[in-house]
Amino acid sequence: MGLWRTLLRSVGSLRLAVVLMALLLCALIAGTLCESARGTAAAQAWVYHAGWFIGLLGLLAANVLAAMLVRVPFRRDQTGFVITHVGILVTLTGSLITYRWGERGWLNLVEGSSSSQMVTSCQAVSVESDGSLQEFPLKLNPSKPSRGLPRRLATIFGVEFTAQRYLPNSRWDDGYQPASPPAPAAVSLVLSYQGVEVTRWLSTASESSRVVQVGGIPVSLRVADMPGEAGEVEGAQPTADAESTSAREAISTSIPAALSGKGRLIIEVDGMSWTVNVTIGADEPTSLGDTGLAVRTVNYLPHAVVGPGGSVTNQSDRPVNPMVVYEIIGPAGAERRMAFARFPHFSDMHRRHHTYPELSARFEAPAELQQPTGVELVLAPGGDMRFVLRLADRPAVHGPVVVGEPLAADVLGVDLRVEQILPHARAADEPQALPYDPKRDAEGASPSLQVLLRRDDAEQSVWLPFGRGRTVEVDDVSLELTFGQQRTTLPFRVQLEEFAIDHYPGTQRPAMFRSRVVLTDAQRGVEVRKAIEMNDPLDYREFMLHQSSYHTDGKQTVSVLGVSRDPGWTIVLVGYVMLMLGMAVTLGTRVRRRLRQDGGR
């Protein structure tokens, strides 16, 4: 008995309590800083849901319980002490219940749609076969992706699933990798503009993969039957030499002060569109309704050429590559952009760096100014490659392809390069691993999972991209596999009737956004209508729905409603009340004791 009380005194000592409270305070500070710098997912993975943090709370609970047990039987003046310590234990118990059985997720809704499927932050693999669907969750550590792998996951439809490798951040490129003959040829093209690159692949595997649009230019690939065929192009002229380049530079590049009939800008802001005629020299900008923005055209170049560092010059007065410079005027100042008639996606390459990302523009030049341009890449049997550039009203231009060097930049007006030539290639079936970043703001980045499937003596290893289904055949069994976020069915259905955004006066900055929803519980025959705002959630049964965020999916605005179920909240609330009551009783006991001591003097 003496040894037991000694152990209780050690575990429940005030010194240990101070140490634990100090460690807990440091952990909370670390969690706050981690969440601010790396995001909520990282803070949960590294702090709040980590084993060491749960263990620290467990030690605190053991210290509080031991401090109580060592004082049994309690005296009357220890009532506040007991209530306070029981309140701490009740609070920790409620938190543990929420951690173990609570639910967190989101509902993604567009106007008029309804759903009862809540998307959670937990990752899972769903398997569908013959109309039957099964799902099993995954517990993977993004900061230590190789921990616990390979790991047997489950056996579904007679197929055993084993997780082999996990990439928390990866990119799937529709690319190719070297293969043995007689595999078809493949070429990667890169369109570069101001440090932003767009990659496209060509392959002779099929007619659909042989031709691709790169920035509005149709580029095709073919393999020559004979070594000399790639260099013999009927009606083609070699690319510009030094003499023709000097002659082209001698052409005056001055543009008249006022130009009209050069095309139009199609402006889109938050689903609304305006048409602005390209008229250089106009002093008055065109107002874009009540958006608080205005647009005016600044310059027009008929033969624009993008040089090093993104500089743009005009090479001639021929409409080879029409381009317009326009200016957006708004509350945050003026912003200049460029739009190309034949490269409508150039502006989108820099959208996240724009001052007004909500505005997009497309330049449409008259039909006579848009000369159809086509590039054909011809691969010789020896591995050499040449290009043929065909224009509508000019002889074709041809020349050798140098990997990494622009193709006829003086004619095309853009930096279009052949990055890789694969005489024999097969489609890539593996993702490219990227450094882990919890915010994952790299374009096209997402997790990937490699799974090994076994059935009898047959086995197959496949990579699953996040959020995209993949059909796999294993020993005559067809499976539809999807690696993504786990979904939970709610006991009710939510329909979004209307989503509204309030803006600050004179600007496009959101001030408040709300979702008018109808919650229907068919089992209980209950229907609830509510306008959910950022600080005005909807409480129903054990669930709380709050306005989390919104985003634009194409031309539709998606309202993101956060959904949470906290089964331990009532217990935590009781614990908080007991803590306040216990501290009040303790204070009152000490005051009465002090008064008695003063009265006895």
This prediction's pTM: 0.53
Query: Roughly how many angstroms between the first and final C-alpha of the chain, as a whole number?
Result: 41
Of 69, 66, 65, 67, the residue nearest 92 (C-alpha): 65
Percent of the chain surpassing pLDDT 90: 19
pLDDT above 80 for 508: no
List, for residues 432-453, the tens digit of each pLDDT value.
888 876 655 455 578 899 999 9
Q: What region, left, alpha or beta, does residue 596 occupy, with left being phi > 0 and alpha being psi -120 to 50 degrees?
A: alpha
**CA atoms of 119 and 540, how far apart (whole Å):** 18
- The predicted structure's pLDDT at residue 249: 34
Amino acid at 395: P
The answer to whether 176 touches 415, Cβ cutoff 8 Å, is: no
- The predicted structure's pLDDT at residue 245: 35
Helix (H, G, I), strand (E, B) or coil at 567: coil
* Mean pLDDT value across the chain: 80
Binned at pLDDT 50, 70 and 90, residue 26 comes out as very high
Of the candidate ranges 31-45, 229-243, 256-270, 344-358, the one whose mean pLDDT is the lowest:
229-243
List, for residues 523-565, the tens digit of each pLDDT value.
899 999 999 987 889 999 889 999 988 887 656 788 899 999 8
**CA atoms of 573 and 95, how far apart (whole Å):** 10
Domain ranges in the chain are 2-101+570-599, 103-117+488-565, 138-173+429-483, 178-235+247-426
List, for residues 368-380, the tens digit of each pLDDT value.
444 546 888 999 8
Of 153, 223, 221, the residue nearest 181 (C-alpha): 223
**CA atoms of 338 and 413, how far apart (whole Å):** 13
Of the candidate ranges 43-52, 180-189, 570-579, the one whose mean pLDDT is the lowest:
43-52
Binned at pLDDT 50, 70 and 90, residue 578 comes out as very high
Q: Per-residue pLDDT averaged across 44-61, rounded?
A: 87
Q: How many CB atoms lie under 10 A from the CB of residue 189?
A: 23
**Three-class DSSP labels, 33-69:** HHHHHHCHHHHHHHHHCCHHHHHHHHHHHHHHHHHHH
**Three-class DSSP labels, 384-451:** CEEEEEECCCCCEEEEECCCCCECCHHHHCCEEEEEEEECCEEECCCCEECCCCCCCCCCCEEEEEEE
In degrees to the nearest 10, what's the CA dihedral of 388, 390, 396, 402? -30
pLDDT above 80 for 224: yes
pLDDT above 70 for 345: no
Of 66, 51, 60, the residue nearest 23 (C-alpha): 60
